[in-house]
Structure 1
Amino acid sequence: MTPFPASLTTLNTPLPRDANATPAGGEPLGDLPEWDLTDLYAGEDAPELTRDMAWLETECAAFAADYEGKLADLSADEMLRCIQRNEKIDEIAGRIMSFAGLRYYQVTTDGDRAKFMSDCEGKLTEYTTPLVFFSLEFNRIEDSTYEAMMAANADLARYRPALDRLRAMKPYQLSDELEKFLHDASVVGASAWNKLFDETIAGLTFDVMGEELGIEATLNFLTDQDRSKREAGARALAEVFGKNVRTFARVHNTLAKEKEIGDRWRGLPTPQSGRHLANHVEPEVVEALRDAVVAAYPRLSHRYYKLKAKWLGLDTLQVWDRNAPLPMEETRLVGWEEARKTVMDAYAGFDPEMAKLAEPFFTDGWIDAGVKPGKAPGAFAHPTVTTVHPYVMLNYLGKPRDVMTLAHELGHGVHQVLAAGQGEMLSSTPLTLAETASVFGEMLTFRAMLDGAKDDAQRKVMLAGKVEDMINTVVRQIAFYDFECKLHAARREGELTPEDIDALWMSVQAESLGPVFEYMEGYEHFWAYIPHFVHSPFYVYAYAFGDGLVNALYAAYEDAPEGFQEKYFDMLKAGGSKHHKELLAPFGLDASDPAFWDKGLSMIEGFIDELEALEG
């Protein structure tokens, strides 16, 4: 089980600033909610947690005793029982690690919480090691036997999408003994380097204009109205990242090499192959997306940032201007209750059922919103397990983009609630589809706010903000994906110095951002703080996939709104039980069609057209 979140939006949402609920200016944000984790466990000494841990130890051993060496000889009914027992083990393990992980992310600098999570992870690794046989042995079942089992029991056949994904790894699995060794060693491999990265990031302090700040507060300066403050924040980030760049380079070198060794032993053809298999998406579909976005750089980011430079009265932009607010943008803070009403009204405008599904997040302790010392940066929605409910983490400080982050993460939460009916094995959505509901929730909120714009000036600010978010979600994430591709390819040739990694980073930044930008000394180190590269290699293309998919979906909604809601909810309820082709077919869409991605990109282009028209 992975205790870290299923969806982080750190990369495409500028981060909040202060640890207080009353930011600069004295305007309170209101009563910011905190998590109530008691739906998982009342505490780390809860008797239910002790009971579940003991059950897990016993059941894992019993499962191995009952089934190891016997899978191919099971009847369809016996295989169904086996799958259901395995699913229950996943559920209990997921519940434990969700509790440990969420507590840790609330205060990553708390040694007791870090130890508790590590201890839980160590015990679960120990208990589940006897289960490593299952996927290996299941994949050795002959295709004819597998097909006969599926045909013989409809309840078993319901699990087929998950089992087919499992069998997709069949050509790449190692011997049982080696797989067990890798499972045991995982706690001192990638998991340990992930923790080192998290703890290093959480412990960094930055001197910004004489004030010592954490990474959240410092990153927030990059969106300040005052250009001198933006520059101060950027230079502080560059200085501290530079001082720690060797540690971050060591983390990346080690993880990329570990991945290369694993991929080589498994025979995976490319560093990206494992992610594509996990996402249940064809490599050519991802490459079509990547190529379409890169080809569109001049029509999207280059064109937009040229406009932005004009609005800011600048000939060239510095990196601290990329997420700068526009001069005509209102600087007022959006209180929590206003943010809640804005998002909930937009959700209800689409369908009252959507708002009803979102309501418990606000009323039942499912959101942790405030910025606090040691809290993990960014935002995420973590699904926990299907017998509980998701939890949303924000770092809310009242900026308009924070409202969009709320809409985004709440979309994830609604998706996870709806998909829970599929059960533990089928509820989890491949990353390529995991961003669908979140980006759609953002789009609903944006469209509702745009419709309420009081004049062209306000409309212009809102359109510009949306274009920036879309560029951050599509262009920037594909640039990140290219950086990862280059990093892993280069690491296969040997150890990379920090300067080597810096050069790879700058090559994709210059290409994606365009000629209007200049780059300060130290910006070459900004790859260092991005968690996706460490926690989830090649995750980032899922953002662009999701944005393009939602843009096409929203166009379908505008073209034919009648009956759309029912099809949309059916898609979310499907979770991971269907391939993207099946999910999109009712809407007349097909992601394997190269023209599909141009549809999504044309929506961004249309917004830029409107911005240029508003210039007069």
Structure 2
Amino acid sequence: MRRGRAICRLVTQNPAPTADPTPAPQAGGSSPALPAWDLSDLYAAPDDPGLAADLARAEAEARAFQAAHAGRLAGLSGDALAAAIATYERIEEILGQAMSYAQLIFSGDAQSAENGRFYQTVQERVTAISSHLLFLTLELNRLEDAVLEAKLRQSAALARWRPWLRDLRVFRPHQLSDELEKLLHEKEVTGRSAWNRLFDETIAGMRVEVAGEELTVSAALNNLSAGDRSLRAAAARGISAAFGERVRLFSLITNTLAKDKEIIDGWRRYPRPTSARNRANMVEDEVVDALVSAVWSALPRLSHRYYALKARWLGLEKLQHWDRNAPLPEDSDVSIPWAEAVARVRAAYGAFSPELEGVAAPFFQKPWIDAALRPGKASGAFAHPTVPSAHPYLLLNYHGKARDVMTLAHELGHGVHQVLAAQQGYLMSSTPLTLAETASVFGEMLTFRAVLDAEADPRKRRTLLAGKVEDMLNTVVRQVAFYRFETLLHEERRQGELSQERIGEIWMQVQTESLGPAFDFSPDYSVYWAYIPHFVHTPFYVYAYAFGDCLVNALYGVFREGHPRFQEKYLDMLRAGGTKRHQELLAPFGLDASDPAFWNKGLDVIAGFIDELERDVQASQGTAAPALPQTGTG
């Protein structure tokens, strides 16, 4: 079910900063108001009579639908079954709109007790209503393949739903009895969802002391990319202290959710902790294994090599964890006004495809983006598709940094993808996570190349290139490291509850392996796993970012080579929504993600950027500069 699902911006280094009530000054010293969204296209307010009416109507229709069809799907003709699915979709979309609104309200201020109560109330109501709809997917999966195929051949109306039925039946071997499925569905609000809410409200309410100032978690994390090393170190100490004080709670949340997942995975007969996520992403375990293996094998020529270069660039013998996202010495760190950020992103989209920019334009002409900084606002950034009958909303937290411009380009990519895919309808517009990151990362790449190509100053170009390399390492290496951390944690959790110290040991092991010998990790870094929301909300989500980045690197290479009708094919790929798998979507571009060599094409792009930086730095330091290590073939 896609109800209330936001496509989240990756947590690479720090979540995009939020919740500092004073916006960072824009260029020229002014602080113009940043855009905030207006959710009235969904509902006017939490007490809007329209929301109550929609939920009442959905409940009545769901009960009637269950009374008319439960236990009878097998006997329906193809046309009648198609009509039943269409009715199901219509009711689900009503519930999806209500749930989306509640989630967006909560994201706007998670510190508000009233918002938390409203979110929980709507979630409980939607869960109760949707329990009357649950039978449809369960009964469809009980149909034998031959029976369903006969219905599909007999009815053009039903054939329209073939992609949705195909994806639904991926879970057929893992489906439980109707009673158990209903129990799990209804207990979600007091199970995983409740732990998610506890995590969110805990993070939102935390304050971190940095250099004598009380900051939100997001604002403190933002200081890890400050130019002043003493400020970075102070922020790191404050974050470690704040999470160290609460690490027992975060360990309890993590252990409980991992055990909960183990129990459900056991009942559903999933072979390993990652399998359920891979099925949801419509990607084979072997394809994910190939991606992870390729990235891990490439560490010496990617992250290890780059951070050795960065240490030299910063004049440090060893990097500390708070140096990982430090700006480079040549980085002027000029604040970029919001209007300039918008102009850069729109120009890059328009240069690629005027049609794509036309789809993006309403996000800036209407109140569909919330970029303002305020207490309680959700950390990070996301694009929420809401429902096809409305439009997506984007959340980000804009501090005027170059990375914030790329975050805007990223989330806008999600937004235009969701708009284009909306024509597929509520059930088939949503894409697997692996494909959901394609348009977002591609939008980032378009914006980066446009900015880089327009820059004539060699030093500024070098800084831009280094920033892009760091973003790509954060997107690929760091996310795969997160995935390995989750994998080790979930596998070990099957032997019993993990202590907070053991979780920290696993974290430090994976971080040391992924970032390489240029770092000297201090013990206080062992609690940094606790702020990553993906571990709590969507286990094993993170590899989708690496999947998307490598896929886009290969896709962008095809574009740069002048592939015929690329823009047309690309927009068609976005319009397909969830109706096609990655093999079908990539075939028009001559790409195949099941080929192990495919991933190395994407990794080679990152390595090539590092090669260019290395040559540039060595040239600037003189020919006597020692070469950086280049071991590993990937």
TM-score for the superposition, normalised by structure 2 = 0.96
Q: CA deviation at 1:291?
A: 0.2
Task: Rate the CA distance shift 1:117–1:528 in 2: closer, same or farther, 3 A.
Answer: same
1:149-298 counterparts in 2 under 5 A? 149-298=151-300
**SS of 1:396's equivalent?**
coil
Which residue among 388, 391, 395 is the counterpart of 2:390? 388
Task: Rate the CA distance shift 1:5–1:451 in 2: closer, same or farther, 3 A.
Answer: same
Which residue among 74, 77, 80 is the counterpart of 2:76? 74
Task: Work out the CA distance in 2 between the residues paired with 1:152 and 1:256.
Answer: 45
Task: Work out the CA distance in 2 between the residues paired with 1:271 and 1:150.
Answer: 34
The match for 1:6 is 7
Task: Work out the CA distance in 1 between the residues paired with 2:580 and 2:283.
Answer: 12
**SS of 1:212's equivalent?**
strand
Task: Work out the CA distance in 1 between the residues paired with 2:527 and 2:69.
Answer: 50
The match for 1:471 is 473
Q: CA deviation at 1:31?
A: 2.9
Q: CA deviation at 1:190?
A: 0.1
Aligned residues: 616
Superimposed CA distance per residue, residues 397-443 of structure 1 (whole angstroms, 9 cap, x where no aligned partner): 10011000000000000000000000011100000100000000000
Superimposed CA distance per residue, residues 123-167 of structure 1 (whole angstroms, 9 cap, x where no aligned partner): 111111122222221111111110011111223112111111111
RMSD: 1.2
**SS of 1:373's equivalent?**
coil
The match for 2:17 is 16
C-alpha contact (below 8 Å) 2:13/2:325 kept by paired residues: no
Task: Rate the CA distance shift 1:414–1:103 in 2: closer, same or farther, 3 A.
Answer: same
Task: Work out the CA distance in 2 between the residues paired with 1:12 and 1:248.
Answer: 19
Q: CA deviation at 1:356?
A: 1.0
Task: Work out the CA distance in 2 between the residues paired with 1:153 and 1:431.
Answer: 31
The match for 1:59 is 61
Superimposed CA distance per residue, residues 370-399 of structure 1 (whole angstroms, 9 cap, x where no aligned partner): 110000101000100111000000100100
C-alpha contact (below 8 Å) 2:270/2:276 kept by paired residues: yes
C-alpha contact (below 8 Å) 2:335/2:400 kept by paired residues: yes
Task: Work out the CA distance in 2 between the residues paired with 1:385 and 1:524.
Answer: 40
**SS of 2:427's equivalent?**
helix
Superimposed CA distance per residue, residues 343-390 of structure 1 (whole angstroms, 9 cap, x where no aligned partner): 001011101111111111111100000110000101000100111000
Which residue among 134, 137, 140 is the counterpart of 1:138? 140
The match for 2:631 is none
Task: Work out the CA distance in 1 between the residues paired with 2:593 and 2:24.
Answer: 45
Q: Which amino acid aligns with 1:374?
A: G
**SS of 2:209's equivalent?**
strand
Q: CA deviation at 1:22?
A: 4.3
The match for 1:497 is 499
The match for 1:87 is 89
Is 2:329 the partner of 1:327? Answer: yes
Task: Work out the CA distance in 2 between the residues paired with 1:401 and 1:143.
Answer: 49
Q: CA deviation at 1:26?
A: 7.4
Q: Which amino acid aligns with 2:285?
A: P
Task: Work out the CA distance in 2 between the residues paired with 1:27 and 1:67.
Answer: 64
Q: Which amino acid aligns with 1:130?
A: H
Task: Work out the CA distance in 1 between the residues paired with 2:371 and 2:500.
Answer: 35
**SS of 2:398's equivalent?**
coil
Q: CA deviation at 1:521?
A: 2.4
The match for 1:366 is 368
Q: Which amino acid aligns with 1:608?
A: I
Task: Rate the CA distance shift 1:421–1:2 in 2: closer, same or farther, 3 A.
Answer: closer
1:410-559 counterparts in 2 under 5 A? 410-559=412-561
Task: Work out the CA distance in 1 between the residues paired with 2:510 and 2:3.
Answer: 30
Task: Work out the CA distance in 1 between the residues paired with 2:562 and 2:157.
Answer: 35
Task: Work out the CA distance in 1 between the residues paired with 2:341 and 2:444.
Answer: 12
The match for 1:587 is 589
Task: Work out the CA distance in 2 between the residues paired with 1:400 and 1:83.
Answer: 46
**SS of 2:394's equivalent?**
strand
C-alpha contact (below 8 Å) 1:139/1:166 kept by paired residues: yes
Task: Work out the CA distance in 2 between the residues paired with 1:216 and 1:426.
Answer: 34
Show structure 2 runs of 5+ residues with no match. Answer: 620-634
Superimposed CA distance per residue, residues 471-517 of structure 1 (whole angstroms, 9 cap, x where no aligned partner): 00000000000000001101111011101111111111000000010
The match for 2:627 is none
Task: Rate the CA distance shift 1:282–1:516 in 2: closer, same or farther, 3 A.
Answer: same
C-alpha contact (below 8 Å) 1:159/1:425 kept by paired residues: no
Superimposed CA distance per residue, residues 329-348 of structure 1 (whole angstroms, 9 cap, x where no aligned partner): 01210000000001001011
C-alpha contact (below 8 Å) 1:378/1:395 kept by paired residues: yes
Task: Work out the CA distance in 1 between the residues paired with 2:321 and 2:193.
Answer: 32
TM-score for the superposition, normalised by structure 1 = 0.98
**SS of 2:214's equivalent?**
strand
C-alpha contact (below 8 Å) 1:20/1:370 kept by paired residues: no
Task: Work out the CA distance in 1 between the residues paired with 2:120 and 2:198.
Answer: 12
C-alpha contact (below 8 Å) 1:14/1:323 kept by paired residues: no
The match for 1:307 is 309
**SS of 1:207's equivalent?**
strand
**SS of 2:545's equivalent?**
helix
Task: Work out the CA distance in 1 between the residues paired with 2:533 and 2:562.
Answer: 39
Task: Work out the CA distance in 2 between the residues paired with 1:174 and 1:207.
Answer: 49
C-alpha contact (below 8 Å) 1:392/1:410 kept by paired residues: yes
C-alpha contact (below 8 Å) 2:27/2:335 kept by paired residues: no
Task: Work out the CA distance in 1 between the residues paired with 2:548 and 2:156.
Answer: 32
C-alpha contact (below 8 Å) 1:103/1:113 kept by paired residues: yes
Task: Rate the CA distance shift 1:313–1:12 in 2: closer, same or farther, 3 A.
Answer: closer
Task: Work out the CA distance in 1 between the residues paired with 2:221 and 2:29.
Answer: 21
Task: Rate the CA distance shift 1:26–1:243 in 2: closer, same or farther, 3 A.
Answer: farther
The match for 1:30 is 32
Higher mean alpha-carbon deviation, 341-350 vs 147-156, is at 147-156
**SS of 2:12's equivalent?**
helix
Task: Work out the CA distance in 1 between the residues paired with 2:391 and 2:108.
Answer: 18
Task: Work out the CA distance in 2 between the residues paired with 1:120 and 1:156.
Answer: 32
Q: Which amino acid aligns with 1:83?
A: I
Task: Work out the CA distance in 2 between the residues paired with 1:514 and 1:231.
Answer: 20
Q: Which amino acid aligns with 2:90?
A: K
Q: CA deviation at 1:10?
A: 3.0
The alignment-based identity, stated in percent, is 57
Which residue among 96, 106, 109 is the counterpart of 1:107? 109
Task: Rate the CA distance shift 1:14–1:63 in 2: closer, same or farther, 3 A.
Answer: closer
The match for 1:409 is 411
C-alpha contact (below 8 Å) 1:12/1:473 kept by paired residues: no
